Structure 1
Amino acid sequence: MPADPHPASAVGTPTHDTTLLTVGQAAAALGVTARTLKYYEELNLVVPARSGGHYRMYTPADLATFGRILRMRSLGFSIAAITEMLKRPRRMVDAGKSRMNEEDLRVVRDALTSQLDTLRERTAQVRRELREAEKLEAQIEHDLHYIEQRLRGVPADELLAERAAKARKTSSR
């Protein structure tokens, strides 16, 4: 994508800083691909301003947010956790480091717990559906075997007797 020759013409710039970077410049500054930046934009983790030519224009605050996202991803945090953490401000704590405070951590924990509970419920439902699908698959395979045997000339009475014997054996278990 060609760079906008007039980056100062960006509209909707979220900060008063006029230092704006194109997607290529931002990607190079962060050491990632432009596709990576677009991926996080698709997730609404960072929404850059747009230039008059509709090019993405990144502010220093956007780059700082991307840096935070990339650090969290490198530490193994999920997108769900990152999304929740980005909603909370970082505050200065001891040793001059910025971190989330205990109250914010509790809010993130509660949000992630809720998401996990929902996913566990959905996983249980999918497992039930899978078991039902596997039962149906076995039944259809059994029926298909009968049809194939009939097409090979095996008498129906013989096949039906086999099916009845298998059904009795299964029901006696």
Structure 2
Amino acid sequence: MKTDEESHKPSREKAITYCKDLIEYYKSCRKKFRNAWYGSQAATVILAAATPVLILGNAPKVLQAIPPTLASITGGLAVFRWQENWIIGKSTQEALEAELIAFEIGVTESYRVSEDKAVDNFITRINTLHLAQVKEWSVIITRNKLLLKNSEDGKDNPEESTAQG
């Protein structure tokens, strides 16, 4: 017959694996957003710096126009809010890691209870952190859609359009 600890091991391990999978997911997202942000910032600076060099070097006009055009495009990529998403992803990753440590060590009152209740509390907390992140990304996407719609409608202020319609 299984001891009480052995019977709870699968749910505890599943919960820890789930949390570790989420941590890896947020690490991956964070790295992608960070690299995209640094890449777009570097491209904007390099392309902007190339413009005067081409002008002073008497390059053909078409060639002189390419770097500032590309710089404005890479600068415009800021609408994707890569830096904001990078920070959001990093903070969620850190929160998940801290929660995992708290659960494994049992340092909070919510984890100093029966094994079943501790696992339930852990899963609830992990899902709360994850769903808060998903909701935050949803807010960002909705805001971006609203900004795009307003720019297409010729409106500058997103609050004006929400108040009107």
TM-score past 0.5 threshold? no
Task: Please identify which structure carries the higher helix content.
Answer: 2
TM-score norm. by structure 2 comes to: 0.31
* Structure with greater strand percent: 1
